Amino acid sequence: MPSSPTQPLAAQVAVLITVGFVVLSCDADNNYFRSDIQSKPEVETLHYVVTEHVDNGTLVADIMVDAGLRQILPPEVIDQLYFRFLSAPPVGAPMSIDRKSGIVRTAGDIDREAVKQCRYVDICQLPVDVAIGPASYFRIIRVSVEVADINDNRPSFPQSTAVVRVRESAAVGSTFALPVAEDADGPLYGVQRYHLTSCSKLALSTESRRYDSKLVPRLLVMFPLDRELETVYHLRLTAYDGGVPSLSATIDIEVKVLDSNDH
Ligand SMILES: [Ca+2]
Ligand SMILES: [Ca+2]
Ligand SMILES: [Ca+2]
């Protein structure tokens, strides 16, 4: 296990090994891995969690230890091993692996919002499989690194004011589009709710957008409008995200009541 209570950098990294069985056999040439690969190419998957924006160089994984290689291989074989990523970690999640020790560390700023694979998903798991050489001991260790979100982005509206036009003949129960706030964080720390200042005739209604499940606010007509009494309503819409405390953004909404005969 790479994390330890005595290592402050590792305190922000949790390690979860969910599948961890290794079946090895030794052939006449002492090729410990070959016979295993032939029968079980994916021996195990190591799972890790790293929180975005941890310090550069934070310990993520110790492949040598977590895969139990020292327990199953003699020292002279261990000395020959070297490690490399099968493919480069994705943009936004820079990591490096020490060729001899198999230790994986962050190699720059981990930014969940900059990782394409993290968009719109609750849990962002990145495959960073590791190949072990030389060829005579070749083996692939399946490695999955979850990038945990923090609430480092606040909601924002595309502008500070908006005008919504509603005909006075609008039926009770009809709804009208309101501006949608954006929040770059994942679903947990994205926009969770909206609030609209109270108004006798109009209220807030929210629905879930289909393709990304984001909340969409709409203006709901609660009672018949009468342009003779009120031609404009000044409201304020606030979007709150899921952080504790939550971050918010506001936009001023001007609702203009149009004459039903206007065209
Ligand atoms: Ca971020
Ligand atoms: Ca947020
Ligand atoms: Ca974030």
Tell me the per-residue pLDDT of 188-247, one tens digit each, with 9 for 90 and over: 999 999 999 988 899 999 988 766 778 999 999 999 999 888 999 999 999 999 999 999
Q: Inform me whether the pLDDT recorded for 1 exceeds 70.
A: no
User: Residue 200 has what pLDDT?
Assistant: 87
Ligand nearest to the CA of 186: 3
Using the mean position of ligand 3's atoms as its centre, give its distance from the Cα of residue 153 in Å.
6
Q: Inform me whether the pLDDT recorded for 8 exceeds 70.
A: no
Domain 9-148 has CATH 1.10.40.30: no
Ligand nearest to the CA of 153: 2
Tokens of 167: 């005909």
Q: β-strand 161-167 against 175-177: which pairing, if any? A: unpaired
Q: Inform me whether the pLDDT recorded for 43 exceeds 60.
A: no
pTM here? Answer: 0.77
98 vs 227, higher pLDDT: 98
Ion ligand 1: residues, CB < 5 A: 52, 111, 113, 152
3-state secondary structure of 31: coil
Distance CA 229, CA 211 (A): 40
Q: pLDDT tens, 109-152?
A: 999 999 999 988 899 999 999 999 999 999 999 999 999 999 99
Using the mean position of ligand 2's atoms as its centre, give its distance from the Cα of residue 246 in Å.
8
Look at domain 161-258 and name its CATH class: mainly beta
Ligand nearest to the CA of 243: 2
| Residue 180 to residues 37, 116, 148, 216, 240, Cα–Cα distance (Å) | 52, 22, 25, 6, 12
On average, the pLDDT of the chain sits at 85
Distance CA 195, CA 204 (A): 7
Using the mean position of ligand 3's atoms as its centre, give its distance from the Cα of residue 190 in Å.
9
Using the mean position of ligand 1's atoms as its centre, give its distance from the Cα of residue 66 in Å.
28
Using the mean position of ligand 3's atoms as its centre, give its distance from the Cα of residue 185 in Å.
4
Using the mean position of ligand 1's atoms as its centre, give its distance from the Cα of residue 112 in Å.
5
User: Residue 44 has what pLDDT?
Assistant: 66
**Residue type at position 106:** T
Portion of the chain with pLDDT greater than 70, in percent: 81
Ligand nearest to the CA of 124: 3
Ligand nearest to the CA of 115: 1
pLDDT band of 37, cuts 50, 70, 90: very low
User: Residue 24 has what pLDDT?
Assistant: 35
Q: Inform me whether the pLDDT recorded for 256 exceeds 70.
A: yes
User: Residue 210 has what pLDDT?
Assistant: 66
Q: Inform me whether the pLDDT recorded for 6 exceeds 50.
A: no
Using the mean position of ligand 2's atoms as its centre, give its distance from the Cα of residue 218 in Å.
21
Average pLDDT rounded to a whole number, residues 36-45: 49
Highest mean pLDDT among 4-13, 96-105, 202-211: 96-105
Using the mean position of ligand 3's atoms as its centre, give its distance from the Cα of residue 54 in Å.
12
Distance CA 237, CA 218 (A): 10
Using the mean position of ligand 3's atoms as its centre, give its distance from the Cα of residue 181 in Å.
16
- CATH 2.60.40.60 positions along the chain are 9-148, 161-258
Report the candidate in 202, 204, 203 with the shortest Cα–Cα distance to residue 215.
204
